[in-house]
A and B are shown apart, each in its own frame.
Chain A
Amino acid sequence: DQQVKQNSPSLSVQEGRISILNCDYTNSMFDYFLWYKKYPAEGPTFLISISSIKDKNEDGRFTVFLNKSAKHLSLHIVPSQPGDSAVYFCAASTGGGNKLTFGTGTQLKVEL
């Protein structure tokens, strides 16, 4: 039972354009959401998070949007840079607990 889903396994974007990565969840108890970036053979690196009391959080080039009614969140990266090429995981947790449930990941490729 995959409670956090990223339906696009890959995404290709031109440098300078916007990258939009999507994530859907089924567990309505999730109240904290995070995005991680992962390079091969490395651990995930935290990018940005959002709590369920907000619908938008912005940090530099990264913005996360949360639509609770649709159980959907998205990560916008603008402008996209070649160094952004990596696998992006969304993750969710409930009630301030420790357990993160990860999505299946989206491979982003930013082309010159």
Chain B
Amino acid sequence: DTEVTQTPKHLVMGMTNKKSLKCEQHMGHRAMYWYKQKAKKPPELMFVYSYEKLSINESVPSRFSPECPNSSLLNLHLHALQPEDSALYLCASSQDRGFNTEAFFGQGTRLTVV
């Protein structure tokens, strides 16, 4: 199983809504990531969890709140988003912080904030 599964695939939310994005992997990977990708731009790192602890926060606004309930699951809680937060949100996982580890990506959640 080399899959990273993200739900939902599409999400439309209002600026006052609270929603969550979910990500799951069963490859035994101990590092999990959230990336954001805007149209015609490269993916940009938001958060990294290593061994279920937040290790990197790339100065992401607090309206995005990550959570790692266990080694297989990663959530991104969304609250009071802005229309400019509309993007493809990608989850990824990799084996650990060791050298030569590639990240595997999920299919993404296409988020539209109205």
How many Å lie between the Cα of A99 and that of B57 in the bound state? 11
With contact pairs A43-B106, A98-B33, A102-B43 given, residues A32 and B50 touching in the complex (Cβ less than 8 Å): no
Counting contact residues on chain B (CB < 8 A from A), the size range is 20 to 34
Could you tell me the dominant secondary structure of chain B's interface residues?
Answer: strand
Closest to A99 in B: B45
In chain B between 69 and 114, which residues have their CB closer than 8 angstroms to a CB of chain A? 88, 90-92, 94, 97-108, 110
Check A74 for interface membership: any CB of B closer than 8 A.
Answer: no
Complex Cα distance, B103 from A99, in Å, reads 10
The digit string for A72-106, where 1 denotes a CB below 8 A from any CB of B, is 00000000000000000100000111111111110
On whether the beta carbons of B56 and A43 are closer than 8 Å, the reply is no
Tell me, yes or no, whether B21 is within 8 Å of chain A by CB. no
1/0 contact string of A28-72 vs chain B (CB within 8 Å): 000010101000011111100101000000000000000000000
B48 surroundings in chain A (CB, below 8 A): 98-99
| Closest Cβ neighbor of B49 among chain A residues | A98
Q: Is the CB of A103 within 8 A of B100?
A: no
- Chain A residues with Cβ below 8 Å from B101 are 96
**Inter-chain contact B50/A44, CB cutoff 8 Å:** no
Which residues of B sit under 8 angstroms from A34, Cβ to Cβ? 102
The verdict on B20 contacting chain A, using a C-beta distance below 8 Å, is no
Q: Is the CB of B99 within 8 A of A32?
A: yes
Point out residues on A near B: beta carbons under 8 Å: 32, 34, 36, 41-46, 49, 51, 89, 95-105
